[in-house]
Amino acid sequence: MKILHTSDWHIGKHLHKYDLSPDMDLFFSWMIDYIKSENIDVLLVSGDIFDQANPSQAAYKQYYDLLKNLISLDCKIILTGGNHDSAAVLNAPKELLRSFDITVIGGATDLMKELFVEIEKEGEKLVVAAVPFLKDRDIRKSVAGETYATKIEQLKSGLQTYFSNINLHYKKNYSGEPFIVMGHLYVQGSKMSDSERAIQIGNLAGVEAFMFEEIPHYVALGHIHKPQIISQTHNLHYCGSPVALSFSERRDQKRINVITIKDQKIANVEFVAIPKHRNLITFEGNLQEITEKLEAYAEETTLMSLAEIIVNEEVESIERRQAFEELINSQPNAHIEIVKSRLNFKSKIRGATDAFAVGTDVADVTPMEMFEKKLELQSGLVNTEALKHAFREIMEELNL
């Protein structure tokens, strides 16, 4: 039996207002061909199906077009919700999709057994615990007046208890069968990119690998976009996002993980590179250097290359500001589109209102970054970590 592990599709994602749906179309087409050619029996998608809790009509269409193409394959599909997803949105068609052998677990369920999926193919058996992103209210009870540190410890304890109960249910009902646990969370030691949302991913809120107790034979994780093995002993794997979702991911080799079960054991875990169809490039230097680099760039890809330019100049002047604006509004290279830009002056004396560098578009700043800047500008504040945590909770509840 072959299982394909992928996650963090973020359907509907825009990179600084640039639509990444063509990137996803190419990935989906490649994935479907791979499932066919390699006779994949099970497809696991570990959260963040959509980029927004309320997807656009275009995002819905891309999702349902994919499912329509997958239905024709002899492949069991299991989809779980992530922190970007709305459980209600994912669950809405779940009964209809069940008739096509697609299991959807958008959010935490009332009964533990509802998370477990049994699969039998090619004479092999498999048990999957399809655990979605777990919200604060799913794993702990809040108490008025509790401290930030107490809250974090309760979150950790709640997650550990939840996954211990998952393992206990497996041992009671399926002991001896190959066991895969899906999850959408931050495990300490993971290397992150800029595109992961700052909710429950800090070192304090992250869980440790031993939480999974070495009972699952493979832990199929989502949430972190950089593919990596967190623990060989505990078989913890992030497959990462299939396409680069931020410039910090521009050097990542995107991949899927393919798990092979033979004789009721995991015989192999293979990392399969996903073809790259678009380059994300960062150019940094002074105006003259960046102009030369942009003009010299000659690599052609299937999709237009996207560029981030960071201009560093010594002395602030109106002339340099104007030259910067002219550069980013021009198209110095037919193979590149500039989607992010910043102008820095080394000798500039910042005032209290200068929260971000010149050229920073407010659309490029996350709500969390804006809130943190606001805290920096306020003197005399105490317990800022608690304020940040409270703001994260508000964003989570609003799915922002």
Alpha carbon separation from 286 to 13, 69, 321, 340 (Å, rounded): 31, 48, 12, 16
Does residue 92 form part of some domain? Answer: yes
Number of continuous H segments (helices) and E segments (strands) in the chain: 10, 17
Is there a single domain that holds both residue 23 and residue 98?
Answer: yes
Q: Check whether residue 263 and residue 290 sit in a common domain.
A: no
Q: Which amino acid is residue 332, in one-letter code?
A: P
Question: What does the pLDDT read at residue 72?
Answer: 92
Same domain, 247 and 357: no
Domain count of the fold of the chain: 2
- Whether residues 338 and 232 share a domain: the answer is no
Q: Are residues 164 and 268 in the same domain?
A: yes
Residue that the structure tokens 């500008």 belong to: 377
Q: Give CA angle at 375 (369, 379), nearest 5°.
A: 155
Task: Report residues of the chain scoring pLDDT below 70.
Answer: 142-145, 148, 193-205, 348-365, 379-380, 382, 385-386, 389-390, 392-393, 395-400
CATH of residue 251: 3.60.21.10
- Integer angstrom CA distances of residue 336 from 21, 105, 287, 325: 18, 40, 17, 17
Does 67 share its domain with 145? yes
What's the token pair of residue 25? 């179309």
pTM recorded for the entire structure: 0.85
Give the per-residue pLDDT at 263: 94
Of 247, 273, 299, at which residue does a domain stop?
A: 273
Residues 77 and 167 placed together within one structural domain of the fold: yes
pLDDT value at residue 317: 87
Q: Is residue 377 situated within a structural domain?
A: no
Residue 400 lies in a domain: no
Assigned domain for 388 exists: no
Q: Do 262 and 298 lie in a common domain?
A: no
pLDDT value for 4? 98
Asked whether residue 380 is domain-assigned, the answer is no
pLDDT of residue 360: 57
Q: Which of 256, 273, 290 is the last residue of a domain?
A: 273
DSSP E strands, the chain: 2-6, 14-15, 18-19, 42-46, 76-80, 102-105, 116-121, 124-130, 179-184, 218-222, 228-231, 236-238, 255-262, 265-273, 280-285, 305-313, 336-345
Whether 255 and 239 have beta carbons less than 8 Å apart is answered as yes
In this structure, the answer to whether residues 218 and 129 fall within a common structural domain is: yes
What is the reported pLDDT for 369? 72
Half-sphere exposure of 377 (CA within 13 A, CB side): 13
Tell me whether residue 383 is in a domain.
no
Q: Is residue 251 part of a domain?
A: yes
* pLDDT score recorded for residue 353: 42
Confidence at residue 365, expressed as pLDDT on a 0 to 100 scale: 65
Given this model, what pLDDT does residue 362 score? Answer: 54
Q: Look up the domain containing 136 and give its range.
A: 2-273
Q: Are 128 and 78 in contact (CB under 8 A)?
A: yes
Of 241, 273, 305, the domain-final residue: 273
**How many CB atoms lie under 10 A from the CB of residue 268?**
10
Can you give the pLDDT at residue 22? 98
94 and 78 part of one domain: yes
Q: Are residues 329 and 184 in the same domain?
A: no
214, 230: one domain: yes
CB 93 within 8 Å of CB 102: no
Answer yes or no: is 256 within a domain: yes
